[in-house]
Amino acid sequence: MIKSMTGYGAAEEILNGRNIRVEIKSVNHRYFEYSARVPRSCGFLEEKLKRLLSGIISRGKVDVGVMIQTVEGTNEEITINKEVVKSYVEALRSVKDEFELADDLSLSSIAKFPDVFTVVKAQTDEDALWADVESVAKKAAAAFVEMRRTEGERMKADVLGRAAYIEEKVGFIEKRSPETVKEYRERLYNKMLEVLEGKQIDEARIIQEAAIYSDKVAVDEETVRLRSHIGQLREILELDEPVGRKLDFLIQEVNREINTTGSKCSDVEIAQVVVDVKSEIEKIREQIQNIE
């Protein structure tokens, strides 16, 4: 199935106390080019995501964004500095005794003192985190691939339509080309009549001149190859694999054959058809540049 190199997919889920969002987007590129944006503390995810996506994407400039937010601080551990609390209590009670103050010491008042609590980030289990990110990334990748396929089908239909148009014009060239030789022969004959003023014309010489001209302007080989290339293009578009490079090479061959046809034929009608066909080839080339 044909796939575009342009695509976007995203997925978001809360797993094991973490809100994880993965976004994947790509644009056309000759090769697979990868970049990722992940939380600073999760750099190990970059290479894992690259391995995951390189098995799905063969061409394109791919950008991945990963956002991870802890739900309700579940990745933090809070500990009490008991020695600090003990020092605070002893100091306050010594002041109470010395100045004969009321003992209104409470837990809430102690909790307000500095350094009573220590908040520590919990150690990240990389394997567990990757399992969760991978799960979300696969869903984002599925949406990404689906968008690429949808766009690829549209591009395939466009290329096939233009290929059919080119094939139709090739048929016109095949029909028109022999007529140009016939017309040349008639012009040559009339010109010789005019020059020789009614004297006997050497029919064999005229036939020979027409044959020489026919060989020079014959485009049979070119039209046969054009039809063959169009047939190959249709076959390639049905392959279930990346075909962008194959199509790019093939359309270059189509362009070469139509250029040769144009250089051989001096006929105005064929020349106009060649211009029309080259325009369609350029439009096909633009589509192919974005096919994986």
Asked if residue 192 lies in contact with residue 209, where contact means CB atoms within 8 angstroms, the answer is no
Token pair, residue 102, equals 């009321």
Confidence check: pLDDT of 245 > 70 = yes
Could you tell me the CA-to-CA distances from 235 to 150, 164, 225, 231, 243 in Å, in that order? 19, 14, 15, 6, 11
> What's residue 185's pLDDT?
67
Which residues on neighbouring strands pair with residue 58, listed in sequence order?
none
Confidence check: pLDDT of 102 > 90 = no
pLDDT band at 104 (very low <50, low <70, confident <90, very high): confident
Tell whether the torsion through CA atoms of 151, 157, 161 and 166 is positive or negative.
positive
> What's residue 203's pLDDT?
66
Q: Classify domain 7-72+128-148 at the CATH topology level.
A: Ribosomal Protein S5; domain 2 (3.30.230)
pLDDT in tens, 66-101: 999 887 655 566 778 888 888 888 888 887 777 777
Provide the residue ranges of all domains of the chain, joining segments of one domain with +.
7-72+128-148, 76-121, 152-288
Q: pTM score, two decimals?
A: 0.70
Query: For residue 210, how many other CB atoms are within 10 A of its CB?
Result: 17
Token pair, residue 191, equals 């010109």
> What's residue 67's pLDDT?
95
